[in-house]
């Protein structure tokens, strides 16, 4: 039903790719079945010059190492108890990444309900970066995987025409980077994590 997108999709400049990811389908083929969601919100992190990026100042650590790799690699990291998932972007050795902040569930709804808790309204399953990885069974194990390869990949969806742009969320200690308009979301989509 879903086919991984070609690798050259990820070779666009980071801000352009961040917008182009909207409407594409994040797919995870689990042993129990397939779960998939339309990407409806992203945030770009521009590497060395971006105080909000883990790789600010070309910081190269065990955690950020994958960001220096080829575009389309998976960068997972943990925040509190949540796994967050990013698309590595930019040329090799330019450590940029795009956080997938929210998806709209389109496949495997029953399985997502089990993973997130059936008592919870569907709008809360995937409307945030830590929520969507729980709903889709995505773990830290995918660090360094590529988004063109099964079982976790991005498939082609429909382009999003009504796109809103604004500052990123939850980066209050990042000085001037707090105001950069590097967050993109589908206007009026109920699964977006935060409207403003």
What three-state secondary structure class fits 96? Answer: strand
Q: What is the pLDDT of residues 147-180, one digit of tens each?
A: 999 999 999 999 898 999 999 988 877 888 889 9
Is-above-0.75 flag for pTM? yes
**Other C-beta atoms lying within 10 Å of the C-beta of residue 93:** 12
Q: What is the pLDDT of residues 63-109, one digit of tens each?
A: 899 999 999 999 999 988 899 999 999 999 999 999 999 999 999 99
Dump the DSSP string for 174-190: SGGGGG---EEEETT-T
């Amino acid at each position: 039903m879903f086919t991984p997108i070609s690798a050259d999709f990820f070779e666009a400049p980071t801000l352009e790719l961040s917008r182009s990811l909207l409407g594409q389908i994040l797919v995870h083929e689990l042993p129990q079945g397939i779960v998939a969601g339309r990407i409806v919100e992203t945030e770009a992190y521009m590497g060395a010059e971006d105080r909000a990026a883990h790789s600010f100042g070309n910081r190269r650590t065990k955690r950020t190492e994958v960001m220096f790799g080829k575009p389309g690699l998976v960068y997972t990291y943990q925040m509190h108890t949540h796994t967050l998932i990013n698309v590595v972007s930019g040329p090799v050795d330019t450590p940029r990444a795009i956080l997938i902040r929210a998806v709209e569930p389109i496949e495997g709804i029953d399985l997502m309900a089990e993973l997130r808790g059936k008592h919870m309204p569907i709008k809360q399953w995937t409307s945030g970066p830590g929520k969507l990885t729980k709903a889709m069974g995505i773990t830290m194990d995918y660090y360094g995987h590529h988004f063109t390869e099964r079982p976790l990949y991005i498939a082609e969806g429909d382009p999003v025409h009504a796109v809103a742009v604004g500052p990123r969320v939850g980066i209050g200690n990042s000085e001037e980077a707090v105001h950069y308009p590097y967050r993109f979301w589908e206007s009026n989509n109920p699964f977006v994590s935060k409207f403003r």
